[in-house]
Amino acid sequence: MSLMTMIIKMSEGLSKTCAIFFLTLLFSLPLGMIVALLRMSKIKIVSAVTRFIITILRGTPLMLQLLAVTYGPYYLFGANVARNKLIPVVIAFSINYAAYFAEIYRGGIESIPVGQYEAAEVLGYTKFQTFMRIILPQVIKRIMPSVTNEVVTLVKDTSMAFTVSYQEMFTIGKQIANSQTSFMPFLVAGAFYYIFNVIVDWVMGRIEKRLDYYR
Amino acid sequence: MAENKNNSAEKAKASSILEIRSLQKAFGGHVVLKDISLSVERGNVISIIGPSGSGKSTLLRCASFLETADGGDILYDGKYAMHDGVYASKAELNRCRTRFGLVFQNFNLFPHYSVLRNVSEPPIIHGVDKETARERAMELLKKMGLDGKENAYPFQLSGGQQQRVAIARALALNPEVLYFDEPTSALDPELTGEVLKVIKQLAEDKMTMVVVTHEMPFARAVSNHVIFMDGGVIVEEGHPEAVFGNPTQERTRQFLRNYQR
């Protein structure tokens, strides 16, 4: 098989890689905020339970979580394994990344000086207005570098979908490597991820720059 | 007759913007305010002086509902915000909040907002239309000597300028009384003058103010009532000339002597 054919075949899986990537961000970024707020809840039981769930999601392999979400329903209830594996894959990725984002958000929220809340309160901002207008914009600026880190990791982590045989780029590459006994597909995959991340870095850099108008 | 007397007493109370009666506050067993009473009449400028940890700032923070007091009464315009240690409804507290403004030691400007937005957004969220809020903000900034700075961000300003923006922001909501919590303590010495000048100007405009300060000459010159606090109680109070010129309490004399050095 020529290199060109390999690249073309693997590019076909790239759209699925992108699907995992964008859908995971779409769901995990807001879900992470909900988890962060639950984690910071004044109701002790809520924050304790949330904290426990976060430790599980961060303390066990993503690969295991992928297997659990994809095949768990079959072993537990005898339910059919999802036909479209994208659904369990995105669920597993979103939940896992939400746990990481939640901790980043929490760090960001807790780093905002209490004076910001006090000023807003005295000026008659409601709690919701204070969070949306005063706190959140400052949090986003502060956490951008950590979020970029996670997003870069996510690009590479999409390759883990091969464990449930979801036909994304890396899975296809691995199949070609096996059938052709060639290492070439892995180099191609590496190049794909690298280029993907160069773009991610550029985009995130642009966003950080746009938030650079204040200190 | 007795009823009449009661009535006039009620009316007299109603003329105070803020009235505090036997306010108490402790932080985990450490008593910060013991039985503080004070009344703020319209047009008055009250300075609160005293050593660090005497409870001055806590008093202002209780009056602004940033700290929860443990006991006593807080009344705004004769209406209870707290009655015998029990706070009024959220709605009533919000109404009280519109009566005062607070200027913090550390300014607490919103760093992601321009100077103009810092001053104009609070009225806008209270329902003032954008154009009016903007015009009023520009007017206030001009009054604070900040014309031309409306599009700057707080980090681009000096401490003194930031504090003047914070004063404009507090004034934008047209409070009946303005509280200052050590407004110059975070400033370099050469910048305190510009902030004190602005406060002085407000005093001349008959703005009602309560100022917690370590600037003794300023307190003496600007206020018409001085309160000296120590250990959570009001040790001495009265006309500035009396308190500064002829203090009756040994504790006051000692404190002022330390300041004159």
Within chain B, which residues score under 70 in pLDDT? 1-14, 260-261
Q: Which of A111, A118, A123, A129 to mutate to test the interface with B (most CBs of B within 10 A)?
A: A123
Which among B97, B106, B155 has CB closest to A124? B97
CA distance B18 to chain A (A): 16
Q: Which residue of B has its CA nearest to A134?
A: B110
Residue of B34, B95, B29, B30 whose CA lies nearest to B62? B34
Q: Which residue of B has its CA nearest to A211?
A: B112
Q: Is pLDDT above 70 for A70?
A: yes
Say yes or no for a CB contact (<8 Å) between B108 and A215: no
Q: Is pLDDT above 80 for A1?
A: no
Partner B contacted by A212 (CB < 8 A)? no
Across the range A42-50, mean pLDDT stands at: 96
Q: What is the pLDDT of residue B53?
A: 87
Q: What is the pLDDT of residue B7?
A: 47
| Count of pairs with CB atoms under 8 A, one residue in A, one in B | 51
- The string of pLDDT tens digits covering residues B203-260 is 999 999 999 999 999 999 999 999 999 999 999 999 999 999 999 999 999 999 887 6
Residues B151, B193: contact at Cβ < 8 Å? no
CA dihedral (B74, B80, B82, B85) positive or negative: positive
Q: Report the C-alpha gap between A90 and A109 in whole angstroms.
A: 27
Q: Report the C-alpha gap between A198 and B211 in whole angstroms.
A: 55
Backbone angles phi, psi at B225, to 5 degrees: -155, 130
Say yes or no for a CB contact (<8 Å) between B122 and A134: no
Predicted TM-score of the model (pTM):
0.89
Say yes or no for a CB contact (<8 Å) between B111 and A113: no
The single-letter DSSP state of residue A60 is: S
Please identify among residues 39-68 of chain A the ones whose CB lies closer than 8 Å to any CB of chain B. none
Residues A201, A209: contact at Cβ < 8 Å? no
Partner A contacted by B125 (CB < 8 A)? yes
Q: What is the pLDDT of residue B261?
A: 55
